[in-house]
Amino acid sequence: MKFFLFEWWISKRYLKPKNKERFFSLITILSFIGISSGVAILIIVMSVMNGLRSELFDKLIGINGHILIYPYSEKGISNSDEIIENLRDIREINNFFPMLESQVLVMGESQSSGALLRGVSSQSLKSLEIIHKNVITGNVDNINRGEVVIGSRLASNLGLSKGENLTLLSPRGVSSPFGTIPRSSSFDVKAIFEIGMTEYDGNIVFLNIDDAREILNLGNVYGVIELMVTNADNSLIIKKRIDKKLENLDVYSRDWRQINATLAEALKVEKNVMLLVLSLILVIAGINIASGLVMLIKDKSREISILRAIGLSKYNASRIFIISGLKIGFFATFWGILIGVIVSPYVEEIRLAFSYIFNVTFFNPELRFLNQLPSELKVNDVLMIGSMSIGMTLLSTIYPSFRAISDDPVEALRNE
């Protein structure tokens, strides 16, 4: 302990250079700024990547279900009651959402757009929390025949508001001597929702299941049964149990990971690449620390030789410079973590400010699906980045510390 305090005191003096050592002081400052800014940027970027993943999957899963059951036959699911009855004893399943899905053409007074029609019962739509909690006008408590619920972006594109009329045109029409005549029906807009995901706010139309069957020219069938489970992370385990229950029922199931596999992998790769690229900031800062310590050792060679001549061991001498480098790295990492943790929750406000100042779109919702930049700070990421920074600093002190004890103190003093 006595030697450690002595080494700490020496390193403190070395980190406060005199006037003739201002160049080393500049390198120390640059190293400090490099590490602290690198740590802060890494924390902010990782929190944004975590936020993107969480927001995307929460909304994807929230509107599509954790496990989806599809029919093998193109005619649809005609035995939905039997399927649901077989699965009721699986306690992990919270809810069932049988529905019909099909691509349709939606027409307003002067505009038209393609959309995904979803025919559901009133009870199913009411229990779909992501829709029920994000209604901006109207209500979805009871969707009757002749009524639809649409997203805010689709309503804006078609110039529609609550109570106005739209027309749905389905390609599954009536056969005639002149070919298939598309079916069209008019509906009143009962409610408009906005979940904050452009892919759904601009493309989904909910309507009564009976209206959906009529416009799609189908009988008493469903196109898909969506299941909500207690824990989405365990959905693969639950899926295996579901598959056993669905044998000989002419249907198959798919997990949310299978449906969104490409997006999940893309986000994972993007996060890892960003971590690798931004870690180069820490590498550069570590090189600065190493070069600064080498310069310090060269300048302090006489003092080091005197200390070793009066009894300071090689190990203690090398530890002086390890402590010096770690001091820079520790305090820089601390300030970097502090800045990153403070700034991370406000990345959306910062994005809006920069977009306003420079008149540039920094986060295009058409490409990223979300209409705002999310952020989710995780303790594990902060600890990992902090450990990386300290580890990089420690590695950068190894060569200078060996350089400090490589010369014979007698020879060094003779040269003086």
Q: What is the pLDDT of residue 388?
A: 87
The pTM of this model reads 0.71
Residue ranges in the chain modelled with pLDDT below 70: 1-25, 173-181, 296-317, 362-371, 403-416
Residue found under tokens 């996060």: 271
Biggest alpha carbon–alpha carbon distance for the chain: 111
Q: What is the pLDDT of residue 199?
A: 77
Cβ atoms < 10 Å from Cβ of 171: 12
What is the rounded distance in angstroms from the CA atom of residue 77 to the CA atom of residue 398?
A: 68
Q: What is the pLDDT of residue 261?
A: 73
Helix H, strand E, coil C: the string for the chain is CHHHHHHHHHHHHHCCCCHHHHHHHHHHHHHHHHHHHHHHHHHHHHHHHHHHHHHHHHHHHHHHCCEEEEECCCCCECCHHHHHHHHCCCCCEEEEEEEEEEEEEEECCCCEEEEEEEEECHHHHHHCHHHHCCEEEECCCCCCCCEEEEEHHHHHHHCCCCCCEEEEEEEEEEEECCEEEEEEEEEEEEEEECCCEHHHHCCEEEEEHHHHHHHCCCCCCECEEEEEECCHHHHHHHHHHHHHHCCCCCEEEEEHHHHCHHHHHHHHHHHHHHHHHHHHHHHHHHHHHHHHHHHHHHHCHHHHHHHHHCCCCHHHHHHHHHHHHHHHHHHHHHHHHHHHHHHHHHHHHHHHHHHHHHCCCCCCHHHHCECCCCCCCCHHHHHHHHHHHHHHHHHHHHHHHHHHCCCCHHHHHHHC
Q: Which residues contact 91 (CB under 8 A, 6 or more apart)?
A: 230
* Both tokens assigned to 385: 């980045």
Q: What is the pLDDT of residue 173?
A: 62
Contact 95, 123 (CB under 8 A): no
Q: Residue 194 corresponds to which amino acid?
A: E
Q: Which residues contact 371 (CB under 8 A, 6 or more apart)?
A: 196, 197, 198, 201, 365
Q: What is the pLDDT of residue 282?
A: 81
Q: What is the pLDDT of residue 335?
A: 93
